Amino acid sequence: MHRTRARLSDGREIVYYDETPGRAPVADPRGLPPVEPRCEIRRDPLTGDPVTITAHRNARTFLPPADRCPLCPGGPDSEIPDASYDVAVFENRFPSFHGVGRCEVVCFTDDHSASMAVLSVSRVRTVIDAWADRTAELTAIPGVEQVFVFENRGVEIGVTLHHPHGQIYGYPFVTPRTERMLARAGAHPGLFGEVLAAERAGSRVVLSGAHWTAYVPAAARWPVEVHLMPHRHVPDLAALDPDERDELAVFYGDLLRRCDALYDTPLPYVAGWHQAPAGAGRDLLRLHLELFSVRRAPGKIKYLAGSESGMAAWLNDVPPEETAARLRDALI
């Protein structure tokens, strides 16, 4: 993997991750004014949960036609000036955080019609290396408390760009979900290892290798939900060794293809990497992927109604054991 840094015309950073060396970045011809986001973090006084108010994001680009895609290389509206790229990462023009914290866009390929599921193993490996590199860099930024790498895919999820891409948030706080996991792990040392051992001995394993296991969790919230966890306790993507990254590159594409085969149509999903915070708790929280979908059956979507949205008390209409069996058989 070869890294090349450059700047867009408004001063935002762009980083290219190429499989071969020799890139000479093209200058951004757009002459954009500096980004002036309006971000404010408030705390719910009843729960303590942070809520970020981002008025400028309401004007962000929304499902443009392919010839106006800002993630395709070299076009008049492109955020990526070069004529081609392998993987490109740039600071989001419509960030959720500003001043403290950072938001980046990760483009997996310059092919507008592709998806992560159909990329070569070598390209997925490059994406993994880019995720790991960005995780290390963002974790080192003063004020960043936690780094979240994720992909939203499908209009049912709410994506605003069709081009295959993901995002990285450098939160200026530890998220509520992570705080709950840290509290559980702190009260129960070895929790993640015990959960993994129990799942590997059960009926919900989808994929298992030398370094990784993919399984549908016993208490899955979503109709399609898969966790992918390394066998070794590591805090984040940056801590994975080469062998773990190699197997992950194979497993990740395989898992996504199984998901797409469930309903004979591309599955809308969120795939997010839970990583340990930048400070305390790095010995408690084990890196793992959580992939979930709102699709519960062909043509049917699970909407978060009163119990889930109002009380965070989840109801799942699909038994996790059934989902695991269907994913195991999906590519047969």
The first and second tokens of residue 20, run together, are 């071969």
Domain final position from 136, 171, 206: 171
CB 239 within 8 A of CB 273: no
Say yes or no: 305 and 181 in one domain.
yes
Same domain, 245 and 285: yes
Q: What is the pLDDT of residue 99?
A: 87
Rounded Cα distance between 249 and 244, Å, is: 9
What does pLDDT average to in each consecutive run of 10 residues of the chain (332 residues)?
Answer: 96 97 94 91 96 89 90 92 97 93 97 97 98 98 98 94 97 97 96 98 98 98 98 98 98 98 95 96 96 94 92 95 97 82
The phi-psi region of residue 306 (left if phi > 0; otherwise alpha if psi is between -120 and 50; otherwise beta) is alpha
**Looking at the 3D structure of the chain, how many domains does it have?**
2
- Among residues 171, 191, 218, the one where a domain terminates is 171
Indicate the residue among 171, 195, 216 that finishes a domain.
171
- How much is the pLDDT for 59? 77
182 and 316 together in one domain: yes
Supply the pLDDT for residue 60: 83
- Residues 16 and 159 grouped into a single domain: yes
β-strand pairing of 165-171 with 102-107:
antiparallel
Residue-range definition of the domain harbouring residue 103: 2-171
Q: Say whether both 205 and 236 belong to one domain.
A: yes
Contact call for residues 76 and 31 (beta carbons, < 8 A): no
**pLDDT given for residue 89 in this prediction:** 98
Round to whole Å and give the CA distance between 271 and 58. Answer: 23
* Domain CATH code at residue 109: 3.30.428.10
Residue type, 327: L
| 311 φ, ψ (degrees, to nearest 5) | -125, 0
Residue 167 three-state SS: strand
∠ Cα 162 274 54 (to 5°): 55
- Spatial CA neighbour of 71 closest among 33, 103, 108, 26: 108
For the sheet with 2-7, list strands across it: 2-7, 13-18, 87-91, 102-107, 165-171, 146-153, 269-274, 288-293, 224-230, 212-215, 205-208
Q: Which residue in the list 98, 165, 274, 288 is annotated as catalytic? A: 165
Provide the residue type at 319 as one letter. Answer: P
Q: What is the DSSP letter of 80?
A: -
pLDDT at 181: 98
pLDDT of residue 62: 83
> Is 233 marked active-site?
no
Q: Catalogue the E-assigned strands of the chain.
A: 2-7, 13-18, 39-43, 50-54, 87-91, 102-107, 146-153, 165-171, 205-208, 212-215, 224-230, 269-274, 288-293, 295-297, 300-301
* Token pair recorded at residue 201: 């001995």
Residue 294 and residue 207 share a domain:
yes
How many CB atoms lie under 10 A from the CB of residue 106?
23
The reply to whether 105 and 213 lie within a common domain is no
Q: Are residues 157 and 276 in the same domain?
A: no
Residue 31's region, left for phi above 0, alpha for psi from -120 to 50, else beta, is left
